[in-house]
Amino acid sequence: MSTALDTLANWSAFVVFALFAPPIMIGILRKTKARLQNRIGASIFQPIFDLRKFLRKGETISTVTSWVFRNTCVINLAAMIAVACMVPWVSFKPPTSGADIFFVIYLFALARFFTVLAALDAGSAFSGFGASREVTLALLIEPAIILSFASLGCVAHTSDLNQIFSFSDQLIQNRNSLWTLAGTGLFIASLVELSRMPVDDPTTHLELTMVHEAMFLEYSGPNFAIAEYTHYLKLCVMFGISGQCFLHAIPYFWGAGPVIQAAGSIAVLLMAIGTIAFIESTSVKLRWTKLPEFIAYSVAVSLLCVFIAIIRG
């Protein structure tokens, strides 16, 4: 009985965290950026208020669009909830089956497929442009993501992410260099995948330079709220999983209790947020033609992971 209660408590804690942490993290990110730029900035709860406002509003959609446009955000949300339930992006996530590396990556691809279709659906030049850039970035970054995960899995002899990130797999203990490199590769890849600086400027007002934002230009009201929340959740999941790599590189956390591990996961998520805030306040967006060079760092790091995994595996 007590185990069932434990599971229930564990799940409810996780669901509450997954529901509220993403918008608050974005709030913290915006606040940090504002402070770094000598502004006061909005409250860290502002994204939650915004989401609530959007959910109450009516929706305006383009006359050109089909059912694909209206349902894309829901499909994305469903895919991202499934990913968030499977991927161990925080150490206190309850265990689930099927957290397979390749399954998760293809769920991301499913979301991308529909996002791109919806962007082409409105027949707008901007969203089409964004879609074309999105698939290009995705294709450059995909090998880095898949190889970083696969080299971890190769050492741990499993493709189950929950097992790789469980702080208990003896095969992958004390492989600090591998963990650090995989974390770095995934972090750079996340910057691209989440359309953050220096790849894409999330606060730009010029449609022609957008990647991610351009694809969501046509959305409004509740659908926009869903799209935004999905993106926040994706941000937390991706930075969370790269943060977990760094945590696993620190031997101290392997023996620590669940509370310390949970605190560590939240701390590392905040550190990732702080890092992007710093990057976005101090650097400028790269030119589109320079992006393959930037992404090459991520691919190179993942190839190093492969090298280590194969040689010492």
Partner 1 sequence: MSATLSSLPPALMLLGSGFGVWTLGALTALFSGEKAKHHVFSTIMLLGSLFLLLGLFFGQGDIYTFTLLSPLNFVLAPLALRIEPLSALFLVLLGIVSGAVAIFSTGYLTHFHERIHAGIYWACTLIYVTSMGLVLMASNAIVFLIFWEIMALSSVALVASDTVRQRAQRAALIYLGSATVSGALLTGGFLWYFHIFNSWDFASWQNNPSTLGPALLVFFAIAVQSGLWPFHIWMPYAQAEAPTPIAALMSGAMEKMAMYAVIRLFLINCSDGLVIGYLAMFLGTVSVLWGILFALVERDLKRLLAYSTVEQMGLVVLSLGLVLLCKHNGLTVLAALAFSAALLTCINHAIFKTLLFFGAGSVDVSVGTRDLSVLGALGRSMPITMCCFLIGSLSISALPPFNGFANKWLIYQSLFQSSFNSPQVIDRAMALLVVGILGFVGALSVACYTKAVGICFLGRPRSEAVTRAKEGSRDMVAAQAVLAATCVFAGLFIPQILNMAGPVLSDVVGVVPTGKELFPLPVWKVALLGGLVFAAVYALVFKNSPVSKFVTWDCGYGDLPVRAEETSTSFSDPIARIFAPLLQYRISTEIKGRDRRHFPEVIRFETVTKPILEERLYRPIIGLLQTLSKGLAQLQTGSIHLYLLYVFFTLLILVGIGIRL
Subset of residues 147 to 166 that bind partner 1, contact rule: CB under 8 A: 147, 150-151, 153-155, 157, 159
Residue 72 binds partner 1 (CB under 8 A): no
Stated length of the chain:
313
Residue 173 binds partner 1 (CB under 8 A): no
Nearer to partner 1, 166 or 261 (CB): 166
Residue 302 binds partner 1 (CB under 8 A): yes
Nearer to partner 1, 13 or 77 (CB): 77
Q: Which of 29, 48, 107, 194 binds partner 1 (CB under 8 A)?
A: 107
Contact 26, 232 (CB under 8 A): yes
Q: How far is the CB of 24 from partner 1 (least distance, A)?
A: 21
Residues 269-298 that bind partner 1 (CB under 8 A): 288, 292
Q: Which two tokens stand for residue 175?
A: 């492989």
Q: What are phi and psi of 160, to 5 degrees?
A: -85, 115
Contact 42, 30 (CB under 8 A): yes
Q: Which stretch binds partner 1 (CB under 8 A): 24-32, 119-127, 186-194, 276-284?
A: 119-127
| Nearest-angstrom CA–CA distance, 66 and 157 | 45
Residue 313 binds partner 1 (CB under 8 A): yes
Residue 65: burial class (beta carbons within 10 Å; 0-12, 13-18, 19+): middle
| Nearest-angstrom CA–CA distance, 164 and 91 | 12
Q: Which stretch binds partner 1 (CB under 8 A): 1-9, 39-47, 101-109, 181-189?
A: 101-109
DSSP state of 256: S
Residue 207 binds partner 1 (CB under 8 A): yes
